[in-house]
Structure 1
Amino acid sequence: MPWKNQEPTSICEGGSTSKRAKASSPRNSDREDSPPRRDGFTRMMRRRMRPRGYPMPDGVYGGMRLVNTFELCFKELDGYNEDHTKIKLLALSVSQSIVSLASFKGKTRQFTCTGTIVGRTPSSMSILTSASLVRCTNDETEIDDKLKIKVRLPNGKIVPGKLWKYDLYYNIAVVNMKAFPEFRAADIHNQVEANAKLPQSKLVAIGRAFESGELMATAGTLLYKTTKLDCQELMTSSCYITKAGIGGPLIGYGGNFFGMNFCSDDGTPFLPASLLSKCLKHFDTFGRVVQPWLGLRIGSLQAQKLGTRVELHDSFPDAHGIYVERVFDGSPAANSGMKVGDVITKLDEVPLFSAQEFHKLVLDKTESTTQHGDVMPFEVSVLRPGNSFDFCATINAEVIDMSKQNRWPVPKTKWIYPDNEYDDEGPLVRKCSRPDYRYPSPDEDESTQDCDEE
């Protein structure tokens, strides 16, 4: 059965169902009028759902549909829109470096995502992608090294891939595959630092679907807001991507590499290119990403509440830097005298304007000090707005395993039914022009569905 992109904006006639109505109605599988399962239909569903790793529905109902699938593509670009034409040309310029990957346990698919070819030798090519590709399904803090990885190339061919390096803190992985002369490595060093100096930067997120091999692109701008994901080094764009775009590149209109995309319901988080480059260098130098622990959670000043900004402006009108959102008890930062609400303006005498600059400098210092076996003291210049007080402190960082500190959830694939548009986690149906596959009633002719495929 094809995975189709249709245009419905609601699940059933008469509009959506409210949370109150939903709460008062029984589950579909418990209703007395639930239609009986049809053995042939159930077998067909099992053949098509299980190899993709998707759940079976509780029952069979006309209009039910599967949401948050890996087959859902980005929104279609208008062929007559000048801006969309630029987006498509930009996507085409890097298309020979964009692949899709899938991991399998036996014959069952576990995850799919996008990857970017970032390096090559005469015999192999390296693909930068998301570590979600190889995480254990029952314990996301561990890697399942028994998974088989398949790579769909830009020409549609599928070849095996092998995991080389990964980092669970940043959720990145590098997969190696056989070299092909017709495909080239993307220039990820042609990058732009994403910061407050580029508030209106136009960005393009690119992905490739695994089953169809379709190249996808969508545009947006840089957002100065925090993401729901744990990793504090992430930035956010307004590009709306689907799960298939996880691990794909984010590039500027000038062709510059901005970062790698992840998926969330509050915008598209991305790991900035400067941090990705440092991680790849750590892979080559240390075999892993060496992440010192300072015991701080920091954020951009631009993302703080107005009251916080007013308090800072009253004490230090021309202040810049990064905001301390949390100090962990017993941490190196706590021992240095740091407190929540402090503003760090310099790190080792280098002025700071964003949290990403802070983390990049930390990784820079890690490269030099770890190679010489030295300790890692960081000198910070601090403003304390409440007391109009400024001071310097030394934070003696510790190198610890931070791989389990960040969670990287992705939207779950699930079935929804005509009377079940909402659940406790929020809306399940997105009002976009290319929603997920809507499963037909068992009475509908499946051959008719095949003929309607675009």
Structure 2
Amino acid sequence: MINDQLKSDGYPLPVYADGGMRLEANFEEKFGTDILSEPARRITLKMSRSVVALASFNVNRRHFACTGVCIEFDGSTSTTRVLTSASLVRTSGDENEIVDNLEIKVCLPSELCIIGKLEKYDFCYNVAVISIPMFRSNRPAILVDAPQPEVLALGRVFKSGKIMAAEGSVTGERCKFGCKELKISTCKITKAGIGGPIVDFKGNVVGMNFYDTEGTPYLPSKIIMKVLRSFDAERPVAAGITKKPISRWPLPKPYWYYPSGHRHRTVVRLNQ
């Protein structure tokens, strides 16, 4: 039963049947803390109404899981648009292809899961928009091009539906991903927070988070709004790819290890 569950979640099996091993770099790992400053707690409660979790599945096997944020409601079609990372649907962090026959599930703040549909995507900036029917967010996110030094990263775990928040600040460091527009914050997130919003302490979305072990890269709202405008203008899907090289969006793959008192861990060879 455990092996079947691991396979359906898209995880490798450990070489040894040892209960002392732990799975690292998984999509269920939470981030942040329940002890937040009062302003951060207030913003988290406010924004939790628009933060969702997403997962993509291929033939009952999970391909990817991440966070998204509701950005608008279309009254003519009764659908809500969710901003998230294109890693949800792409074959890998380096490739310019979509996985075939994906089913996208969206976990709402109410913990109800509904089927979503890939609407648009751009691999240059690793942005995707998912539409979900018959759901209207009470508080769609507002994207602003006015970054603040103190910020809050938000996320939601797909399986548990738990909202997560991590406080931090914007740094002047450069990101190694190859996308020069990315900025870095000290908010420590996990893979579950990919695609989630980074907000200021007014509740405005100033960017979308990606994952790295050394600081958290985020795509500023200025670039996101540019991508969304290209979507709304009905330019070709993945518009801009021919004008700019595809940036690399590497992610650590899940692996098993033996916990120790040190941060450095011994990686155990996996079954293929």
In the alignment, what sits opposite 1:84? 37
Matched, 1:215 2:56: no
Who is 1:400 aligned against? 242
Alignment-derived partner of residue 178 in structure 1: 133
TM-score (normalizing by structure 2):
0.90
Which residue is 1:278 aligned to?
226
Return the letter of the residue paired with 1:70.
Answer: F
Q: Which amino acid aligns with 2:242?
A: I
Cα 1:178–1:135 shift into 2, 3 Å: same
TM-score (norm 1): 0.55
SS at match of 1:91: helix
Give the AA of the match of 1:400. Answer: T
* Separation in structure 2 between the aligned mates of residue 115 and residue 177 of structure 1, nearest angstrom: 12
* Corresponding letter in the other structure for 1:239: C
Q: Structure 1 pair 211/238, CA: closer, same or farther in 2 (3 Å)?
A: same
Letter in 2 for 1:61: D
**Which residue, out of 27, 34, 41, partners 1:70?**
27
From 104, 129, 134, the equivalent of 1:149 is 104
Taking the TM superposition and a 5 Å limit, the aligned residue runs for 1:339-418 are 400-402=242-244, 405-417=246-258
Matched, 1:204 2:45: no
Stretches of structure 2 that go unaligned for 5 or more consecutive residues are 267-272
* 2:6 match: secondary structure: helix
1:413-428 aligned at under 5 Å gives the runs 413-417=254-258, 427-428=264-265
Indicate whether 1:106 and 2:59 are aligned.
yes
Greater Rg over alpha carbons, structure: 1
1:77 deviates by 2.5
1:222 alignment partner AA: V
Tell me what 1:255 maps to: 203
| Alpha-carbon shift at residue 227 of structure 1 (Å) | 1.5
Give the drift of 1:146: 1.4
Counterpart of 2:114 in structure 1 is: 159
Q: Which runs of 5+ in 1 are unaligned?
A: 1-43, 292-398, 430-454
Q: Of the two structures, which has the highest relative contact order with CA contacts closer than 8 Å and spacing of 6 or more?
A: 2
User: Which structure 2 residues correspond to residues 18-97 of structure 1 after superposition, within 5 A?
Assistant: 44-78=1-35, 84-97=37-50
Per-residue CA shift, 1:67-105, capped at 9, x if unaligned?
Answer: 111101113222xxxx52321210111111111100000
Secondary structure of the 1:110 match is strand
The structure whose residues are more often helix, as a share, is 1
Contact 2:94 2:249 in 1 (8 A): no
Residue 145 of structure 1 and its aligned partner are, at CA, apart by 4.0
1:269 aligns with 2:269: no
Return the alpha-carbon distance in structure 2 between the equivalents of residues 219 and 233 of structure 1: 22
Letter in 1 for 2:255: K
1:66: how far off? 0.6
Change (3 A) 1:89 1:57: same
In 2, the alpha carbon distance for the partners of 1:162 and 1:273 equals: 23
Can you list the C-alpha shifts for 1:233-258, whole angstroms capped at 9, x where unaligned?
Answer: 10000000011100000011122221
Give the C-alpha shift of residue 211 in structure 1. 0.2
Evaluate the alpha carbon distance shift between residue 206 and residue 68 of structure 1 in structure 2; reply closer, same or farther with a 3 A threshold: same
Among residues 240, 252, 275, which one is paired with 2:188 in the alignment? 240
Aligned length: 263
Q: The residue matched to 1:74 in structure 2 has which SS? A: coil
1:388-408 CA deviation, whole Å, 9 max, x = no partner?
Answer: xxxxxxxxxxx9353x52111
Tell me: CA distance 1:250–1:428, structure 2 relative to 1, closer, same or farther (3 Å): farther
Specify whether residues 60 and 151 from structure 1 end up closer, same or farther in structure 2 by C-alpha distance, changes over 3 A only. same
SS at match of 2:49: helix
- The within-5 A match list for 1:119-130 is 119-122=72-75, 123-130=78-85
**What's the CA shift for 1:417?**
2.5
Indicate if the aligned counterparts of 1:77 and 1:84 stay in contact, CA closer than 8 A: no
Cα shift readout 1:282-328 (whole Å, capped 9, x = no counterpart): 1111244654xxxxxxxxxxxxxxxxxxxxxxxxxxxxxxxxxxxxx
Structure 1 residue runs of 4 or more that deviate by more than 6 Å after TM superposition = 419-422
CA contact (8 A) 1:192 1:256 kept: no
Aligned mates of 1:60, 1:428 — CA distance in 2: 18
Residue 62 of structure 1: CA displacement? 4.3
Looking at structure 2, the residues matched to 418 and 119 of structure 1 have their Cα atoms a distance apart, in angstroms, of 43
Alpha-carbon offset, residue 183 of structure 1: 3.5
User: Once the two structures are aligned, what percentage of the paired residues are identical?
Assistant: 40
Q: Flag the 1:280–1:267 CA change in 2: closer, same or farther, 3 A.
A: same
